[in-house]
């Protein structure tokens, strides 16, 4: 079953073609890695998939359903979650509150103006569980502003996982992390059960290659090579893209 599919996605800004006819199909439960030099259009592809950018042409399909015209805010409800290159969480709030916001996003409770949020014990417990999955339940009441970058990245992943997504998009999850922090996050990601399909953009090959099953290489907005880890690593075009013609 194909969990996520992009068909001939194209996007230009003025004369600049940032996505050129990109097609890709990710199987349910797969671990897909998207690589490519800077400016290859990787984050743009993610933005097209999540709906933050509208494609000039092409379509996006989630779990078999065409979501191209579904507004971005509805896609989370359909099972799509993502993390960002630059962590944009809520620094003034506690870790627990951050995760609770993620949980509320999919709950009708978010429209309730009278009940006290702090007393929603079921929600709190789910948030604590989500933090426990990334090893941060002890810091639940700490303001996010007082945590390390690595901890914030884990909170972000906790928030994405809390929404029980069918497809999880990770945009450079290892960027800015120290070596031990990378290992922590990698272990976390490897432990995610197969009912979540994962697509990751990453530059750090050491860690990413451990994680990936299939790899898609982008350059100048187009898919250059796609295949298993071995296929892509051995392909001469890969070397060309990274080392120049």
Q: In this structure, are residues 223 and 23 in contact, taking their beta carbons and an 8 Å threshold?
A: yes
Give whichever of 35 and 159 is closer to another protein, judged by the CB atom.
159
User: Least distance in Å: CB of 164 to another protein?
Assistant: 12
Alpha-carbon 136 to chain mean position: 20
User: Least distance in Å: CB of 225 to another protein?
Assistant: 29
Nearest to 191 by CA among 142, 228, 226, 154: 154
Give whichever of 75 and 214 is closer to another protein, judged by the CB atom.
75
User: Least distance in Å: CB of 23 to another protein?
Assistant: 24
User: Least distance in Å: CB of 79 to another protein?
Assistant: 11
- CA 207, CA 220: separation in Å to the nearest integer? 24
User: Least distance in Å: CB of 44 to another protein?
Assistant: 15
Residues contacting 92, CB < 8 A, separation 6+: 143, 144, 145
Consecutive H or E run containing 242: helix 236-243
Give whichever of 20 and 106 is closer to another protein, judged by the CB atom.
106
Q: In this structure, are residues 125 and 97 in contact, taking their beta carbons and an 8 Å threshold?
A: no
Residues contacting 180, CB < 8 A, separation 6+: none
User: Least distance in Å: CB of 112 to another protein?
Assistant: 5
Give whichever of 115 and 243 is closer to another protein, judged by the CB atom.
115
Give whichever of 105 and 135 is closer to another protein, judged by the CB atom.
105
Give whichever of 110 and 237 is closer to another protein, judged by the CB atom.
110
User: At 13, phi and psi to the nearest 5?
Assistant: -115, 105
Give whichever of 68 and 142 is closer to another protein, judged by the CB atom.
142
Residues that bind another protein (CB under 8 A): 50, 52, 72-74, 76-77, 81-82, 84, 88-92, 97, 100-102, 104-106, 109-118, 120, 143, 145-146, 159, 163
Please give the order of strands across the beta sheet that includes 65-66. 16-27, 2-13, 57-62, 65-66
Angle at 28 between CA 22 and CA 34, to 5 degrees: 40
Nearest to 205 by CA among 227, 180, 182: 182
User: Least distance in Å: CB of 54 to another protein?
Assistant: 14
- CA 54, CA 28: separation in Å to the nearest integer? 25
């Amino acid at each position: 079953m194909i969990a996520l599919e992009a068909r001939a996605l194209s996007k230009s800004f003025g004369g600049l073609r940032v996505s050129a006819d990109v097609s890709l199909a990710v199987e349910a439960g797969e671990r897909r890695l998207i690589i490519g030099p800077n400016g290859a259009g990787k984050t743009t592809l993610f933005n097209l998939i999540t709906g933050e950018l509208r494609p000039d042409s092409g379509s996006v399909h989630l779990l078999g359903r065409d979501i191209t015209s579904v507004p971005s805010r509805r896609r989370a409800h359909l099972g799509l979650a993502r993390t960002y290159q630059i962590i944009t969480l809520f620094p003034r709030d506690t870790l627990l509150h951050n995760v609770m916001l993620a949980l509320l996003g999919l709950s009708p409770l978010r429209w309730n103006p009278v009940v006290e949020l702090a007393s929603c014990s079921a929600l709190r417990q789910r948030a604590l569980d989500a933090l426990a999955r990334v090893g941060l339940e002890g810091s639940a009441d700490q303001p996010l502003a007082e945590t390390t970058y690595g901890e914030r990245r884990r909170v972000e992943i906790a928030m994405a996982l809390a929404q029980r997504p069918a497809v999880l998009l990770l945009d450079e999850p290892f960027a800015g992390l120290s070596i031990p922090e990378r290992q922590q996050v990698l272990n976390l990601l490897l432990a995610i059960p197969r009912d979540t399909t994962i697509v990751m953009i990453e530059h750090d090959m050491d860690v990413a290659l451990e994680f990936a099953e299939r790899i898609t290489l982008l350059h100048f907005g187009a898919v250059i090579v796609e295949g298993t880890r071995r296929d892509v690593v051995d392909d001469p075009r890969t070397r060309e893209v990274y080392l120049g013609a």
